[in-house]
Structure 1
């Protein structure tokens, strides 16, 4: 779990949806509770501001950080994945979105970026240069942002004999690894008092959301009918929602005491 991953979750919990900017010292205080150093926090804030994710505001000698529209989009996407998409895909219509691409060696970095974006969007590789995802996926923005329209072919289709849907899912996605990550989450958070080594529920809330978002980011949201009946994502999602609800109550007063912010609605 990187400082930036933690930072995005912190911003999603305590800045998203508010016209505020948070004092850097407050962020340092909160991150110290999860053993992230002051240097790492300052470096992360600086890099995110340079990348157009954060705005910087001064109030006297203090520096505050707020969200840019781009950061808001990123955080809202994460919020949708956590609360709306769900751990199971129960409404699959049998179609797949396929993306074929071939890029010259001179565009190796673009090929890497495309693969990273495809993984984030829930695609998996069937074979060299051909990736698939269940259902209909709109990848127009991704392709245009990377300027790869001339190198990419996108279409939707259904599998046909002798290819089976379950075989496609297991070929394109490492379902055993996905299941193992959910099992790890259950083992990490399933105790009566998870992560006792952390000082308080504000720290636990931050790590919980970071852990869960990392899980769902790596989950291609495969159709339930292609997975085992005891797919561990079901139990893991129930556990996350229960803990998230608990920490919303117990962490809120801690956050109110620890986080200093200013109103930036007029800026």
Structure 2
């Protein structure tokens, strides 16, 4: 796990929506338990502050770090992916979001950016410039942010004709072996795991690795996936391990993390 990912998992677990900042000393100790050196942790904190992911709060000789609006939004999105959406789409309403685009050869960079963003948001290419995603996706927001609204057409709540083989379409539009491989790698790492020596470090790694496994998953309808699709099994392993690690990890975090509420921070000006 990258130090920044571990740091975000730490703040998402022990600071998000709690109106607190965390002391640098405790952050260094916690990441040290996960194998991150003091120097790497300090560098990570500096970089995250420079990228508007953390906000510095000097208090006497101590330095505290709090979440910014940007990092709060990122962590809320991650929380929704993990706990609200989940990895198994067994309530699909049969609709698709369709996006077609046509860009001139002179806009190759823009085409690459659009394809990358569509893949990130769960779209897969059907043919040519036509991409699909299950359910109702805010595709207009994607193209607007890229400045490509004039070059695209978006259709929401579309349905396939009965003559269309949806299972075959999904297999053509998405790299199913690659998606399944993410879950299988997670299972290899965690399915046989027992209570670790350090449940705090293990819990941060567990949540980070699970989020990495699901964040690129377009949540394809389960009825059109292979019978041995590993997402449901992996999700059960994640939730079982997270529940087992939660209380012992919390006890360690309470002893290491120096929390300061926003009301106790020095007021600027």
TM-score by structure 1 length? 0.89
CA distance in 2, matches of 1:173, 1:11: 33
Write the deviation string for residues 31-68 of structure 1: whole angstroms up to 9, x where unpaired: 11222222332232222222222211111122211111
CA distance in 1, matches of 2:112, 2:5: 20
Shift of 1:262: 1.1
Matched, 1:72 2:67: no
Shift of 1:113: 4.0
What is the aligned counterpart of 1:221 among 191, 214, 219? 219
* Alpha-carbon distance change, 57 to 110 in structure 1, aligned in 2, over 3 angstroms: farther
Shift of 1:188: 0.9
Matched, 1:250 2:248: yes
Shift of 1:247: 1.2
Matched, 1:182 2:180: no
* Alpha-carbon distance change, 141 to 45 in structure 1, aligned in 2, over 3 angstroms: farther
The answer on whether the counterparts of 2:140 and 2:154 sit within 8 Å (CA) in structure 1 is: no
Provide the secondary structure at the position in 2 that maps to 1:209: helix
Aligned to 1:124: 124
Equivalent positions of 1:58-69 (< 5 A) are: 58-69=58-69
Shift of 1:162: 5.3
CA distance in 1, matches of 2:106, 2:30: 44
CA distance in 1, matches of 2:226, 2:44: 40
CA distance in 1, matches of 2:15, 2:105: 42
Aligned to 1:142: 142
CA distance in 2, matches of 1:226, 1:17: 37
CA distance in 1, matches of 2:142, 2:9: 23
Aligned to 2:12: 12
The answer on whether the counterparts of 2:23 and 2:62 sit within 8 Å (CA) in structure 1 is: yes
What is the aligned counterpart of 1:237 among 228, 235, 238? 235
Shift of 1:6: 1.9
Provide the secondary structure at the position in 1 that maps to 2:35: coil
User: What RMSD in Å do the two structures reach over aligned CA positions?
Assistant: 2.2
**Runs (5+) with no aligned partner, structure 1:** none
Aligned to 1:193: 194
Provide the secondary structure at the position in 2 that maps to 1:21: strand
Matched, 1:159 2:160: yes
Shift of 1:111: 4.1
TM-score by structure 2 length? 0.89
**Runs (5+) with no aligned partner, structure 2:** none
CA distance in 2, matches of 1:53, 1:103: 34
